[in-house]
Amino acid sequence: MVRRHLVLRVVSKLLIPFILLFALYVQFHGDFGPGGGFQAGVIFGAGFILYALIEGIEVARRVAPTALVRLLMVLGLLLYVGVGYVGLFKGANFLNYDVLAHDPVHGQELGIFLVELGVGITVAATMVTIFFAFVDQARR
Amino acid sequence: MDIPGLYNYWIVIVLMMTGFYIVIARGNLIKKIVGLNIFQTSVFILYISMGKVDGGTAPIIAEGVERYSNPLPHVLILTAIVVGIATTALGLALIVRIRAAYGTIEEDEIHAQNTMKDADG
Amino acid sequence: MIAAHLPILQIVVPLVAAPACLALGRGRAAWLLALAVSWAALGIAGGLLATVLRDGPVSYALGNWAPPWGIEYRVDALNAYVLLIVAAIGAVVLPYARRSIADELPAHQHAAFYTAFLLCLTGLLGVAITGDAFNLFVFLEISSLSSYVLIGLGRNRRALTAAFQYLVMGTIGATFIVIGIGLLYMATGTLNMADLAARIPAVAHSRTVLAALAFLAVGATLKIALFPLHGWLPNAYAYAPSAVTAFLAATATKVSVYILVRFLFTVFGPAYSFEQLALHNLIVPFAVIAIVVCSTVAIFQNNVKRMLAYSSVAQIGYMMLGIGLGTATGISAGLVHLFNHALMKGGLFLALGCIALRVGSVRLEALAGLGRTMPLSAFAFVIGGLSLIGVPLTNGFISKWILVQATLEQGAWGLALVVLFGSLLAVAYIWRVVEVAYLRPPPDGARRREAPLSMLIPTWILIGASVYFGIDTSLSLGVAEIAARILTGGAG
């Protein structure tokens, strides 16, 4: 399988870095323009799934073992909720970003950045998990 | 009645009924999920078209722009889209398991297998 | 400081524990975490109820975004009441779940089970606490998606088809609700329930609001499983794992009843839903059919779990009958039955789970001689059954007593007779089980083999509570009456 589909492999090798880069752009530009964690996570996940389709599932699993993907899925969510808890511990309401930094504007910026990062990580990991789960079913 | 002016609602209604019909009338479980998706998509369009303001642009502050579309319904529907994806993924996962357990994804064949075996399994 | 943040902790404590369960990956550790969290949730719910009864409604603005712009969690007596029911059932079912689940699921699924369970708990608590209409939809879907997973984990392959059917019906119901919310937003430009209630009267004559009410009512009744829309429920309850059936039967439909009540009374207001649209003419007949037809169907079931599932649909009929009357007494009858039915049906399904663990089946003929082989579980079932019938000194009697009072207040003798006739039908199906369990001899060679204590104690807690709230009604009926007063427009 690995030696076949030369065109597909070459083209996807060229594309995948840009897909991942675009995902990061959508992720980190989300607080100034259209974008955000969910979209970025889906794009990142799709880039990785393309890699798995071309290189085969074993190679993809070596890059991202199931345990790691599962951990990322959990970590992203915990990052989101964790940001909410920080607000709580600093005496404000849950998910209040104002208190994250010394002035509210920076706090809002930092808060939305971290929350979207958490969303992005979780969504990307979830997409990959769903893909792996279906592949495993098909091979049984 | 202002039919052309309300065209977005007509699209929503047609899509909604199409999806609903597929869910009810089709026996193939995958087609049911597709129908469910179309049904949900019609609601997405309902919300998205609701937020559009005539002559308004994307709600990002820019020089020389004064009219913005209402972003709230769009953000809401982003959440609903995520819910829809989760539902689809879960539905498909169930179909994979059903296929493994029954060897078919046709509703009437599954039903026949259920009744053929003792009614309560 | 903690007291002020109770509303959000109610949600985020189970929410953050759910993925943590998945990360722990091992069944026992995940169970311990889930157990601790469910007890914490019960403590928080109790604290909230005490606060609300002392100081009146509590409001919490997420991220300090003031309502109606931000998401508001708003707890009045009704919210706190439903929260307490959901959290209490969760806290009782989880200790039970460990043995029951160890028996029914392969080991590698245990951590995922507790994750799904906690997510379902989060979703149900979220529906009951939020004051934002769209947020309600999101929590509803969190609880629904996780309950499809939980049901699909059942051992019988029919659990899969039951879960799929529920997924299709549940998604249609939830989508109807979201259409209704969208139409309300279109008409009023707000999603906050209190703000909606203030703005709807100005636009109440419009067809948009009418369509919104129709979509919301149909969507909610689908999730409630009120009579013509109950098709998904019997199979889902019959084939889900025992602990899941007990949890969902005691909480999921109750929370959906809350959604309908909240929209009909708080958002649209009784003047619009009942005086102008006369919705009682719609709800009461369906409730009556549910009581009579589904109780009758229950008599003819040979799978006891499915018998109780049909009985649940009938009991939902009682709740809807009370609520459909639209009077303060009627609503308190509906709400107190919501509380009481959660206890008795939860207890019955837990007792049935004990039986399933030892006997390996819940078919009627498999229960022969159970009075001798499993005396404690069988007796728990009998007490739960008596409560379902509405025998005095059980909480079922209290519900039916108030409900009959509410019908007589309106001079509706026929409805009072329906309630009594429904009890007779309940006698019939409970008697079938009792007869087999006590009057038939156990199969040859059957030894006395009671379920483990970790399952018997939770069962008896719920059954004991059914008896306790049949005698002391200050909590169940007291709060229900306060909630009914708030809903019908009086001061809390």
- Return the pLDDT at B2: 67
Q: Which two tokens stand for residue A3?
A: 């030696």
Q: Decide if C172 and B76 are in contact by the 8 Å CB cutoff.
A: no
**Residue numbers of the domain that contains A52:** 6-139
- Kindly give the confidence (pLDDT) of every residue in chain C, 492 residues in length, as a single tens digit, with 9 standing for 90 and above: 577 888 888 998 999 898 888 888 777 899 999 999 999 999 999 999 999 998 888 888 888 888 888 889 999 999 999 999 999 999 999 999 999 888 888 888 888 899 999 999 999 999 999 999 999 999 999 999 999 999 999 888 899 999 999 999 999 999 999 999 999 999 998 999 989 999 998 988 889 999 999 999 999 999 999 888 888 999 999 999 999 999 999 999 999 999 999 999 999 988 888 888 888 888 999 999 999 999 999 999 999 999 999 999 999 999 999 999 888 899 999 999 999 999 999 999 999 999 999 888 888 888 888 888 888 999 999 999 999 999 989 999 999 999 999 999 888 899 999 999 999 999 999 999 999 999 888 887 777 888 888 899 999 999 999 999 998 888 888 899 989 888 887 544
Taking the C-alpha atoms of residue C96 and residue B10, their distance in angstroms, rounded to an integer, is 52
Q: A62 CA to chain B: closest CA distance, Å?
A: 24
Query: What pLDDT, on a 0 to 100 scale, did the predictor assign at position B4?
Result: 74
Total domains present in chain B: 1
Q: Are C319 and C449 in contact (CB under 8 A)?
A: no
Domain boundaries, chain C: 278-492
> Given B39, B90, B97, which is nearest C167 (Cβ)?
B90
Look at residue B55 and tell me whether its pLDDT is greater than 60: yes
Task: For residue C61, give the H/E element and its range.
Answer: strand C58-61
Range of the domain at B20: 4-55+68-116
Beta strands in chain A (DSSP E): none
**What's the maximum distance between 2 C-alpha atoms anywhere in chain B?**
72
Q: Which residues of C touch B98 (CB under 8 A)?
A: 157, 160-161, 164
- Nearest-neighbour CA in chain C from A5: distance (Å): 37
Residues of chain A short of pLDDT 50, as ranges, are: 1
Q: Residue C59: phi, psi to the nearest 5?
A: -120, 140
Mutation pick from B33, B76, B96, B108 vs chain C, by most beta carbons of C within 10 Å, is B76
Instruction: Find tokens 């074993």 and name the residue.
Output: A58
Chain C residues touching B47 at Cβ < 8 A: 182
DSSP of C199-239: HHHHHTTSHHHHHHHHHHHHHHHHHHT-GGG-TTHHHHHHH
Chain C residue numbers with beta carbons less than 8 Å from the beta carbon of B43 are 175, 178-179, 182
Number of inter-chain CB pairs under 8 A, B vs C: 75
Q: What does the block give as tokens for C277?
A: 């649209």
Q: How many CB atoms lie within 10 A of CB C32?
A: 16
Residue A1 lies in a domain: no
What is the enclosing helix (H) or strand (E) of C350?
A: helix C328-359
Is residue C353 within 8 Å of C243, Cβ to Cβ?
yes
Element (H, E) at C59: strand C58-61
Six-digit token string for B69 = 């579309």
Structure tokens at C392: 């005095």
Q: Are B58 and A34 in contact (CB under 8 A)?
A: yes
What DSSP element (H or E) covers C310? helix C304-325
Does C156 sit within 8 Å of B121, measured CB to CB? yes
A94: distance to nearest CA of chain C, Å? 5
Q: What is the C-alpha separation between C223 and C171, in angstroms, rounded? A: 9
Report the 10 Å Cβ neighbour count for C215: 20
Note the pLDDT of residue B7: 86
**What dihedral angle (degrees, nearest 10) is formed by the CA atoms of B27, B29, B33, B36?**
30
* Bridge partners (DSSP) listed for residue C363: C303
Between CA C42 and CA B65 the distance in angstroms is 52
DSSP β-bridge partners for residue C61: C72
Q: State the number of CA atoms in the 13 A half-sphere of C78 facing the CB.
A: 27
User: Across the interface, which of B43, B76, B87 has its CB nearest the CB of C134?
Assistant: B76
The answer to whether position B62 is within a domain reads no
Q: Which chain C residue has the Cα nearest residue A76? A: C19
CB-based contact C5 A93, cutoff 8 Å: yes
Q: Which are the contacts of C405, defined by CB distance < 8 A and separation ≥ 6?
A: C329, C333
CB contact under 8 A, A137 and B100: yes
Closest Cα to residue C426, out of C287, C310, C346, C278?
C310
Please provide the average confidence, as pLDDT, over all residues in chain B. 86
- Both structure tokens of A78: 């915990």
What chain B residue is nearest to C307 in terms of C-alpha separation? Answer: B120
* Residues of B engaging C, defined by a Cβ cutoff of 8 Å: 20, 23, 29, 32, 36, 39-40, 43, 46-47, 50, 73, 76, 79-80, 83, 86-87, 90-91, 94-95, 97-98, 101-102, 110, 114, 119-121
Backbone angles phi, psi at C387, to 5 degrees: -65, -40
Nearest to C16 among A70, A73, A81 (CB): A81
Q: Which residues of C touch B97 (CB under 8 A)?
A: 152, 160
The tally of domains found in chain A comes to 1
Residue A91: its chain C contacts at CB < 8 A? Answer: 1
Q: Do B83 and C306 touch (CB under 8 A)?
A: no
Instruction: Quickly state the pLDDT bin for B121 (edges 50, 70, 90).
Output: very low
Interface test with A, best of C2, C6, C16, C135 (most A CBs within 10 A): C16
Question: Which one of B60, B78, B92 has the shortest CB-CB distance to A38?
Answer: B78
Total CB pairs under 8 A between chain A and B: 13
Please report all neighbours of B, defined by 3+ CB atom pairs within 8 A: A, C
Q: C68 preceded by cis ω (within 30°)?
A: yes
d(CA A19, CA A9): 15
Q: What is the pLDDT of residues A100-135, one digit of tens each?
A: 777 888 888 888 888 889 999 999 999 999 898 888
- Read off φ and ψ for residue B28, nearest 5 degrees: -80, 125
Does B61 reside within a domain? no
- Maximum Cα–Cα distance across chain C: 73
Task: Please judge whether B80 and C137 are an interchain contact, meaning their C-beta atoms are less than 8 angstroms apart.
Answer: yes
> Rounded distance, CA A107 to CA A38, Å?
21
B90·C168 Cβ contact <8 A: no
The DSSP-derived string for C234-277 is HHHHHHS-HHHHHHHHHHHHHHHHHHHHIIIIIIS-HIIIIIIS
Asked whether B47 and B76 are in contact (CB, 8 A), the reply is yes
Kindly report the nearest CA distance between residue B58 and chain C, in angstroms.
19
Contact status, residue C274 vs residue C211, Cβ threshold 8 Å: no
CATH no. for residue B23? 1.10.287.3510
Cross-chain residue pair C12–A84, CB shorter than 8 Å: yes
Contact B78 A133 (CB under 8 A): no
Which one of A74, A94, A97 has the shortest CB-CB distance to C12? Answer: A94
At residue C222's C-alpha, the angle toward residues B93 and C290, to 5°, is: 125
- Mind telling me how many Å the CA of B68 is from chain C's nearest CA? 16
Three-class SS of residue C300?
A: coil
Flag whether B16 is in a domain. yes
Q: Which of B36, B73, B95 sits opposite C171 (nearest CB)?
A: B36
Q: What is the ipTM of this complex?
A: 0.92
Helix, strand and coil content of chain C, in percent to the nearest 5, comes to 80, 5, 15
Helix (H, G, I), strand (E, B) or coil at A102: coil
**Beta bridge partner(s), residue B28:** B106
Beta-carbon separation of A94 and C8 below 8 A = yes
